[in-house]
Amino acid sequence: MSKESRSIARPYTEMQVLKKLDIPDFRHLTKDKVIEFATMVPRMNPEVAKKALEQFPNFASTSLDVMKEYRTILEKSMEQDQENAKICYDMYGRVMAALEKILEEDNLSFEEKTYILSEMKQVADEVSRKDLEKTNARMKVISIASGVAAAVVAILGTAIGVNLTSRQNDITDSEDYESKNT
């Protein structure tokens, strides 16, 4: 078994998490470090996650703030992409219109018409390539946003699960205590 596969299987200890986040304790967990922390939770010892959340009670609201900021950045990026794409498509449209106008001329030879049609095909191919690039970029952004959202949901789920488990244990313990004393 390789060293790398052994370290993945073993959950992070409190010291390892603090070292990776470069903070002295979980009270120093900042907005900048929340997403990094959230991505580490699935590989953390559950007690470490619980301890961290106890020291950082506003994790949910901070995570929501980070997600809102991230969404704003993504929206701005997509707006810029749309503007750039519009400029590009306008340029392709003008080139196609000019080629169509030339193609309408009656005095063109067969070779010239073939050449113009070939140029029009190249423009159409470029438009297709640009569409594919835009789609791939959008999918990458969506994938990143989904990953971040999933990490935040995972940590919140872990926190809720830990809280529900400890509350259930408290209820069971108190029921056991009451039944013994009656």
- Of 3-17, 28-42, 112-126, 128-142, the range with the lowest mean pLDDT is 3-17
What pLDDT is recorded for position 161? 58
pLDDT greater than 80 at residue 105: yes
- Of 10-14, 60-64, 137-141, the range with the lowest mean pLDDT is 60-64
Most confident of 31-40, 84-93, 134-143: 84-93
With tokens 């010291």, the residue in question is 15
What pLDDT is recorded for position 170? 47
CB atoms within 10 A of CB 39: 16
Per-residue pLDDT tens digits for 130-144? 888 878 877 887 777
Mean confidence (pLDDT) of the chain: 74
Determine the Cα–Cα distance for residues 63 and 85; give it in Å rounded to an integer. 32
- Of all residues in the chain, the percent with pLDDT exceeding 90 is 1
75-79: long-range pairs with CB below 8 Å, 24+: 77/141, 78/138, 78/141
pLDDT greater than 80 at residue 14: yes
pLDDT greater than 50 at residue 120: yes
pTM for this predicted structure: 0.47
pLDDT greater than 50 at residue 5: no
Q: Which residue has the higher pLDDT, 156 or 123?
A: 123
